[in-house]
Amino acid sequence: MEKLREVQKLGQSVWLDFIQRGLITSGRLQQLVADGLSGMTSNPTIFHKAVTQGRDYDEAIKSILKSHPDAGTRDIYDRLTVEDIQMATDVFRPVYDASGGMDGLVSLEPDPELAYDTDKTLAEVRRLWRLVNRPNLMVKVPATPPGIPAIEQLFAEGININITLMFSMAHYEAVSRAYLNGVARCSNPQQISSVASFFVSRVDTYVDRELEKLGTAEALSLRGKAAVANSKLVYNRFKEVFAGDEFARQRGRGARIQRVLWGSTSTKNPDYSDVKYVEELMGPDTVNTLPTETLDLFLNHGRVRDTLNEGITEAEQVLKDLKKVGVDLDAITEQLQVDGVKAFRDSFDQLLVALEEKCRQFR
């Protein structure tokens, strides 16, 4: 696990993109934290896998039904997830305290059905913030057009937000603007922790599909390059934003930077390195959240080197070349956000169905 410490020295934090009750209660999470893991993210897809694979939650569900026989499926989901997040935040609390609030954070995602409703997003995030009642909680809000004003308002209220489903420079500009505006309106900006979660591998999945349709040698030579190039340019913009005068004023009030978090970093294409989106997106003031399989692969044979601060000119050229061959990256990244919301919504619905079935069995 020494490799996690090497990454930390470089200025990047490694978080785990997974949560399961057994991971926490077995002491395995505590060991990972001792080895250098410094945060955790979750989403409806992850919770769906956690609840349906194995019997980790059976006794908890039975206990809820015994004390609350009329509990609805959503209420049971609420109780299970809040308990998991509370246990995880308590494990990470020493990391949160030692890092001054930059690490040791655990993310919880509200119902994806709310992604296009500003007012309902605000109400649900406030409810979850009060319910979990931990300073190292981050509530996830997608960077959809209705999500952006909600994000700014929640920052103004001093709530930690992990902004998700970002795929483009336009998404990043809107999110960083919401952060700057929100902390400026917050009376205690020093209490806010935030990350801007930029999704990576799915960009290559969608772009490669378009390149293969074109089929020319020029187009095919660009496969596997779009996601990292796209991410490096966003990282470059992040450095500009948080080195600027506008943030300097908020830094003077105690505000932390909003780090970029690389999400969706497992390799989908077997032709590419299985640690491609870890090794090629390593650099200061960032987070990479890894599924357990990708974390194991990286610990086994990943290399540690600052790669984010190199190849910016080449990244710009990749985006120019994509445009030249006829790939509309802006259209693709907008579709990725729409599809991302739908995927999480589908997982959430499947999770509720699975919980309902367990409740039916136990009743």
Break the chain into its structural domains and give their ranges: 2-201+227-308+333-362
What is the chain's mean pLDDT, rounded?
96
Phi/psi-derived region of residue 215, left when phi > 0, alpha when psi is between -120 and 50, beta in every other case? left
In angstroms, how far apart are the furthest CA atoms of the chain?
Answer: 65
- Classified as helix, coil or strand, 164 is strand
Contact by Cβ (8 Å): 99, 84:
no
Query: Between β-strands 39-41 and 161-166, what pairing exists: parallel, antiparallel or unpaired?
Result: unpaired
pLDDT at 53: 79
pLDDT score at 268:
95
Q: What is the pLDDT of residue 363?
A: 76
Q: How far is the CA of 172 from the CAs of 5, 57, 110, in angstroms?
A: 28, 37, 21
Alpha helices in the chain (DSSP H): 2-10, 21-25, 28-34, 44-52, 58-67, 73-98, 118-132, 147-156, 169-185, 201-214, 217-220, 226-242, 245-251, 276-279, 292-301, 312-325, 329-362
The rounded distance, in Å, linking the Cα atoms of 170 and 221 is 26
What local confidence, expressed as pLDDT, does residue 47 receive? 83
Give pLDDT, residue 149: 98
How far is it, in rounded angstroms, from Cα 126 to Cα 132? Answer: 10
- The domain made up of 2-201+227-308+333-362 has a fold known as TIM Barrel (3.20.20)
Q: How far apart, in whole angstroms, are the C-alpha atoms of residue 64 and residue 74?
A: 12
Q: How far apart are CA 200 and CA 297, in angstroms?
A: 18
Identify the pLDDT of residue 50. Answer: 83
16 φ, ψ (degrees, to nearest 5): -105, 125
Decide the pairing of beta strands 286-290 and 161-166.
unpaired
Full-prediction pTM beyond 0.85? Answer: yes
* Residues assigned a catalytic role: 140
340 burial class (0-12, 13-18, 19+ CB within 10 angstroms)? Answer: buried
Question: What are 182-229's pLDDT values in tens digits?
Answer: 999 999 999 999 999 999 999 999 999 999 999 999 999 999 999 999
Q: What's the confidence (pLDDT) of residue 1?
A: 64
Taking 50 as the pLDDT cut, the residues of the chain under it are none
